[in-house]
């Protein structure tokens, strides 16, 4: 027989569970879709572990702090936060630009990489678009590397889609996202030093030659097809 005391204890446990769920932060670190060493020899395991577990986690933690300080932003996705950046409360706008950009950029970065044996080639609509816009995948890669190399200081080189579904290749400083420019990111190359310094030191050009060997072209091609509809 269940006593009144037992019922009260169960109710208290249920309330505690609800409170714990309510306290769960809105943003969390996504798991890597491969092992830390899966991108060797191009990207080393230690860099991947620190980059993902430390740097990306810091962006997530700081984004959660920024959103928690502004109740009106509850339930808004990181992508929508970045799209609406100019309309956000000034007190949190810069934090969301940097921390939200860091979270969104890295979340996409991880899934657009894959072991070299699975890298493949662009296919379908993306292959045709790269031919039309850049003269083919190989020439696109050359221009991507040039854009990434020319980015002064920390930042990203981006392939994105504008509002007319045109491909745009450019670079951006810090954690700025194409989303803030009303474009859809297809994939980006991280040129912050924490992305490569343990293995390549100041040799960004060598890192850029390496990372194109581990682009997940199947995923990038599929993403392009979905965004270009």
Has this prediction a pTM greater than 0.85? Answer: yes
Q: Is residue 146 part of a domain?
A: yes
Using H for helix, E for strand and C for coil, what is the string for the chain?
A: CCCHHHHHHHHHHHHHHHHHHHHCCCCCCCCCCCCCCCCCCCCCHHHHHHHHHHHHHHHHHHHHHHHHCCHHHCCCCHHHHHHCHHHCCHHHHHHHHHHHHHHHHHHHHHHCECCHHHCCCCCHHHHHHHHHHHCCHHHHHHHHHHHHHHCCCCEEEEEEECCCCCEEEEEEECCCCHHHHCCEEEEEEECCHHHCHHHHCCCHHHHHHHHHHHECHHHHHHHHHHHCC
**The total number of structural domains that make up the chain:** 1
Q: Name residues of the chain where pLDDT drops below 50.
A: 1, 6-8, 10-11, 13, 15-20
Q: Is residue 181 part of a domain?
A: yes
- Looking at residue 9, what is its pLDDT? 53
Q: Is residue 37 part of a domain?
A: no
- Looking at residue 5, what is its pLDDT? 58
Q: Is residue 177 part of a domain?
A: yes
Range of the domain at 200: 116-227
Q: Is residue 164 part of a domain?
A: yes
Q: Is residue 23 part of a domain?
A: no
Q: Is residue 168 part of a domain?
A: yes
Q: Is residue 29 part of a domain?
A: no
């Amino acid at each position: 027989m269940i006593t009144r005391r037992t019922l009260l204890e169960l109710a208290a446990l249920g309330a505690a569970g609800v409170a714990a769920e309510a306290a769960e932060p809105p943003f969390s670190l996504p798991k890597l879709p491969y092992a830390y060493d899966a991108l060797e020899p191009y990207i080393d395991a230690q860099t991947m572990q620190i980059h993902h577990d430390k740097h990306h986690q810091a962006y997530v933690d700081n984004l959660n702090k920024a959103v928690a300080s502004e109740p009106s932003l509850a339930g808004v996705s990181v992508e929508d936060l970045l799209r609406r950046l100019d309309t956000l409360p000034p007190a949190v706008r810069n934090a969301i630009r940097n921390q939200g950009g860091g979270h969104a950029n890295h979340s996409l970065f991880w899934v657009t990489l894959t072991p070299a044996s699975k890298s493949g080639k662009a296919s379908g609509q993306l292959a045709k678009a790269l031919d039309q816009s850049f003269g083919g995948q190989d020439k696109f890669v050359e221009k991507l590397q040039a854009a990434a190399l020319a980015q002064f200081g920390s930042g990203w080189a981006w392939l994105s889609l504008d509002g007319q579904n045109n491909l745009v290749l450019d670079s951006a400083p810090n954690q700025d996202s194409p989303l803030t420019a009303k474009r859809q990111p297809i994939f980006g190359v991280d040129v912050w030093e924490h992305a490569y310094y343990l293995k390549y030191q100041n040799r960004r050009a060598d890192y850029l030659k390496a990372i194109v060997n581990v682009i997940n072209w199947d995923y990038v091609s599929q993403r392009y097809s979905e965004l270009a509809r």
